[in-house]
Chains A and B, each alone.
Chain A
Amino acid sequence: MKDDKTIEMLQILEEDARITPAEISKMTGVPEKNVSELIGKLERKGAIIKYKTVVDWEKAGVEYIYALIDLKVNLDRDNGYDSIAERISMFPEVESVRLVSGNYDLAVIVKGKSMKDVASFIAEKISTLEQVRDTVTHFSLKMYKREGEMLHKKDADRRLAVSA
């Protein structure tokens, strides 16, 4: 599965989800039919999770508030990290959940329409969970880079239009 062509295909798709199998075929020399088959296989396997668009909502005129929450949790004999992490992950307000090393156990990113929205979500839904021992919430003030993309800067092409 982890052969070079598969990795290359995933890299191309990670960069541009809208690229067609025909184009991938032209770029890599893999026949179009094989490209489609391989993509199908990767989708079924869950290696390709979903095709999404990276949106700068601020530019689109829609306001969202993001908060990064550090969580300390209590574990008991029956419940490891997975069960609490999955439980938190189920909330649609939660963008990402990671188990991390260091002073806290889970790093959670929450997205909401307003500061009040996010604050009350954390207060009512997260902090009240039995296993949650301690939380620290950082509200995001400005986002600079997301999904590997710079949000506020586009490098202009400064090259001469024709050169040797």
Chain B
Amino acid sequence: MKHISNRVQNIHSSGIRKFFDLVLGVEDIISLGVGEPDFVTPWHIREACIYSLERGYTSYTSNWGVLELRELIADKLRGDYGVEYDPEGEILITTGVSEGMDLVLRATINPSDEVIIPEPGYVAYKPCVILAGGMPVTIDTRIDNDFKATPEEITSKITENTKAIILNYPNNPTGSTMKGSELEEIADIAVEHDLLVISDEIYAKLTYEGTHTCFSSLNGMRNNTILLNGMSKAYAMTGWRIGYACGNREILENMMKIHQYTMLCSPITAQMAAVEALRNSDDSLRKMVTEYNRRRNLIVKGLNSIGLHCFEPKGAFYTFPSIADFNLKSEEFAERLLREEMLAVVPGNAFGNAGEGYLRCAYAVSREVLNEALSRLERFVGRLG
């Protein structure tokens, strides 16, 4: 096509998008395909946002974001993980983690730089690396290792061009988490090969067993890590688009340069809501996490009893069951499930080749929907024999 740049022609639309178009044509579906909380943003946050509008907070903010918000984030990170970031110069408010990821890649990647991405992984990482001019190098994590990236797999992909590695634990789409000791081994590799680690920890608060380890809290990693996080998943604030990037002052300054020319600042209304969320949400957060955990137990038991083998995800709100016993490709399975039972799930291959043979089933749905979905799945699987 004549007006489209070569760079963009090199990336494909997300497999999720393709499946979404299919779903649009089907009526009365129920869906385990949604990648966001089913809770509406807690009322006290919405209310604080309305109040900020009434008081006339409608202007631009500092390019770095509202200082009060950055200070609250610094406090949280210190309290939760013992990591110190200066609200002035080491924390940047972004328009979701999506923007943060784009900024860090564009600020650090040179042509032919390689970026290691464990798969199955979030759909945006590969395209973002390509758009930044870099080369994505994927590693295939395995179900028998609970979809964790191993030091051996990472080391085997390191070349003289390797610049960075993207980690996302708790993980979308698998729900996998990594322990501090396991991350420590990756930190050692990063130090040895002088790699930048981009750690997308958007699901950190949704950790059900053990405690979340913030990658930059690991020995020697503070200056080699760009920590990305945000409000979306923990506070049920996906549509507000508030994320943040923390790290080394020099990298942050350069990310901010791109941000000031392309985004200017994140919407002030959403930043004001985020201030309230960080101040007063402990209770609503705890309630949501408790409820997700109950559903997690329900769906994991349910899937395994139907014969969709699924390892126990310890974070996020996804399960990633295997369909190996049914002799169907992920897409074929998901399409037939959609047509025959009006149940939407996401085919695992949307998250990379390593996801072939799996489905992503999100349990961010009510228990009624969850139970109905499981009985539809059971009926479908029963027919497959």
Which of B13-21, B64-72, B103-111, B264-272 is found at the contact surface with chain A?
Answer: B13-21
Docked CA distance A8–B367 (Å): 16
B contact residues around A163 at 8 Å (CB):
16, 20, 33-36
Docked CA distance A27–B38 (Å): 18
B40 interfacial contact with A, CB 8 Å: yes
Count residues on chain B whose CB falls below 8 Å from chain A CBs: 28
B128 interfacial contact with A, CB 8 Å: no
A47 interfacial contact with B, CB 8 Å: no
B179 interfacial contact with A, CB 8 Å: no
Within 8 A of B (CB), among A1-56: 8, 12, 16, 23, 26-29
CB closest chain-A residue, reference B364? A159
Docked CA distance A162–B145 (Å): 27
B167 CB → nearest A CB, Å? 18
Within 8 A of A (CB), among B109-155: 122-124
Q: How large is the interface on A (under 10, 10 to 19, 20 to 34, 35 or more residues)?
A: 10 to 19
Docked CA distance A163–B18 (Å): 10
B297 interfacial contact with A, CB 8 Å: yes
Q: A162 with B20: in contact, given A155-B40, A157-B38 (CB under 8 Å)?
A: yes
Q: A161 with B38: in contact, given A12-B294, A26-B298 (CB under 8 Å)?
A: no
A164 interfacial contact with B, CB 8 Å: yes
B contact residues around A12 at 8 Å (CB):
294
Docked CA distance A163–B35 (Å): 5
B183 interfacial contact with A, CB 8 Å: no
- Contact mask A70-112 → B, CB, 8 Å, 1/0? 0000000000000000000000000000000000000000000
Q: A164 with B124: in contact, given A12-B294, A27-B294, A159-B38 (CB under 8 Å)?
A: yes
CB closest chain-B residue, reference A12? B294
B74 interfacial contact with A, CB 8 Å: no
B contact residues around A62 at 8 Å (CB):
none
Q: Which of A23, A155, A160, A162 contacts B298 (CB 8 A)?
A: A23
A128 CB → nearest B CB, Å? 44
Q: Which of B122, B297, B302, B344 contacts A28 (CB 8 A)?
A: B297
Q: Which of B33, B124, B295, B301 contacts A161 (CB 8 A)?
A: B33
B251 interfacial contact with A, CB 8 Å: no
A155 CB → nearest B CB, Å? 5
On whether the beta carbons of B34 and A29 are closer than 8 Å, the reply is no
B308 interfacial contact with A, CB 8 Å: no
CB closest chain-A residue, reference B345? A162
Docked CA distance A103–B290 (Å): 40
- Contact mask B288-299 → A, CB, 8 Å, 1/0? 001000110110
On whether the beta carbons of B29 and A161 are closer than 8 Å, the reply is yes
Give the interface centre of A23, A26, A155, A159 by most chain B CB atoms within 10 Å.
A159
Q: Which of A16, A23, A164 contacts B35 (CB 8 A)?
A: A164
Docked CA distance A27–B35 (Å): 22
B347 CB → nearest A CB, Å? 10
B contact residues around A23 at 8 Å (CB):
298
Docked CA distance A23–B294 (Å): 10
On whether the beta carbons of A161 and B298 are closer than 8 Å, the reply is no
CB closest chain-B residue, reference A19? B367
Docked CA distance A152–B35 (Å): 29
- Contact mask A120-164 → B, CB, 8 Å, 1/0? 000000000000000000000000000000000001010111111
On whether the beta carbons of A162 and B31 are closer than 8 Å, the reply is yes
A contact residues around B40 at 8 Å (CB):
155
Give the interface centre of A26, A159, A161, A164 by most chain B CB atoms within 10 Å.
A164
On whether the beta carbons of A159 and B294 are closer than 8 Å, the reply is no
Docked CA distance A63–B346 (Å): 47
On whether the beta carbons of A162 and B34 are closer than 8 Å, the reply is yes
On whether the beta carbons of B298 and A159 are closer than 8 Å, the reply is no
A contact residues around B122 at 8 Å (CB):
164
Docked CA distance A38–B196 (Å): 52
A152 CB → nearest B CB, Å? 16
B25 CB → nearest A CB, Å? 11
B23 interfacial contact with A, CB 8 Å: yes
- Contact mask B25-43 → A, CB, 8 Å, 1/0? 0000101011110101000
Cβ contacts A to B, 23 pairs, < 8 Å: A12-B294, A16-B367, A27-B295, A27-B298, A28-B297, A159-B34, A161-B20, A161-B29, A161-B34, A162-B19, A162-B31, A162-B33, A162-B34, A162-B344, A162-B346, A163-B16, A163-B20, A163-B33, A163-B36, A164-B16, A164-B35, A164-B122, A164-B124
Question: Could you tell me which A residues sit within 8 Å of B by CB distance?
Answer: 8, 12, 16, 23, 26-29, 155, 157, 159-164
- 9 closest pairs, A vs B, by CB? A162-B33, A27-B294, A162-B20, A161-B31, A163-B35, A161-B23, A27-B297, A164-B35, A26-B301
Known: A28-B294, A29-B297. 17 other contacts (CB 8 A): A16-B367, A26-B297, A26-B301, A27-B295, A27-B297, A155-B40, A160-B34, A161-B23, A161-B31, A161-B33, A162-B20, A162-B31, A162-B344, A163-B34, A163-B36, A164-B35, A164-B172
